[in-house]
């Protein structure tokens, strides 16, 4: 059924149950449009959008804290405002954890890419360096697993278990740094030994030009092999 209303000789068709526009529905639509708009943007704009969100959150937090400190606000509202501030802080800390994890993952990928370019043939890798590479690879896998697991969890879970996730990720990154340093040291020692062998053979050749070298060292793919 529809009813009509005549105003100044004009007839308007009205629904049976007219509803007032909802502020929350409009807000929801706005968020959806904002989400669609963001998806169309390039990845280069994501960092600026994230910075804008952080700035907005910071301004909002200042406003909330100002209300919380106001003497005109009733105690129950002050408690609610304090809880809002706490949630904002937790969300920011969770975001920091994700960014730290992403930086660590990119660090691991860059190092792996450099190693792949320097060592095209795995048969030339000495045993001690192969062991170091295996340890390094295991640490990479651990980092990737931790990051992937963290991102699969809901925001609520990440907030509740923030301390646990932070400690696990910190320990994981420490292990990765230790493995990288160990690999660098072993690589440097290997190069120093090869250089020393070259120097010794050069000295022998200078004293006795007719002496045949035991094994002429070569340099392939960034590593000395003797």
- Using one digit for the tens of pLDDT, what is the confidence trace for 31-64? 443 444 455 444 445 555 455 555 555 655 566 5
Kindly report the backbone phi and psi dihedral angles of residue 6, in degrees, each rounded to the nearest multiple of 5, phi listed first: -95, 120
Tokens representing 184?
């660098």
Task: Let me know if residue 38 belongs to a domain.
Answer: no
Q: For 120-145, what is each residue's pLDDT tens digit?
A: 565 566 677 677 777 777 777 777 67
Taking each helix axis from N to C end, the angle separating 75-118 and 162-207, rounded to the nearest 10 degrees, works out to 20
Q: Is residue 156 part of a domain?
A: yes
Confidence of residue 192 (pLDDT cuts 50, 70, 90): confident
Residue 66 forms part of a structural domain: no
> Which range marks the domain in which residue 181 is found?
99-206+214-225
Instruction: Provide the domain count of the chain.
Output: 1
In a domain, 55, yes or no: no
Q: Are 175 and 142 in contact (CB under 8 A)?
A: yes
DSSP secondary structure letter of residue 123: G
Is 64 contained in some domain?
no
């Amino acid at each position: 059924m529809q009813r009509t209303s005549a105003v100044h000789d004009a007839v308007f068709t009205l629904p049976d149950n007219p509803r007032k526009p909802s502020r929350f529905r409009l807000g929801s639509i706005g968020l959806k449009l904002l989400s669609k708009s963001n998806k169309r943007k390039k990845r280069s704009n994501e960092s600026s959008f994230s910075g804008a969100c952080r700035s907005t959150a910071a301004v909002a937090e200042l406003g909330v804290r100002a209300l919380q400190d106001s003497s005109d606000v009733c105690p129950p509202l002050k408690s609610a405002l304090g809880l809002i501030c706490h949630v904002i802080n937790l969300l920011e800390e969770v975001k920091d954890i994700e960014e730290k994890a992403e930086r660590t993952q990119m660090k691991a990928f860059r190092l792996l890419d450099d190693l792949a370019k320097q060592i095209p043939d795995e048969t030339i890798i000495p045993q001690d360096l192969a062991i170091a590479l295996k340890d390094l690879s295991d640490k990479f896998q651990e980092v990737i697993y931790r990051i992937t697991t963290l991102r699969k969890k809901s925001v609520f879970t990440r907030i509740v278990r923030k301390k646990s996730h932070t400690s696990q990720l910190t320990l994981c990154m420490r292990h990765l740094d230790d493995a990288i340093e160990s690999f660098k040291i072993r690589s440097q020692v290997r190069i120093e030994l090869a250089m020393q062998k070259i120097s010794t053979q050069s000295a022998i050749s200078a004293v006795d030009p007719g002496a045949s070298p035991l094994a002429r060292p070569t340099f392939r793919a960034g590593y000395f092999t003797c």
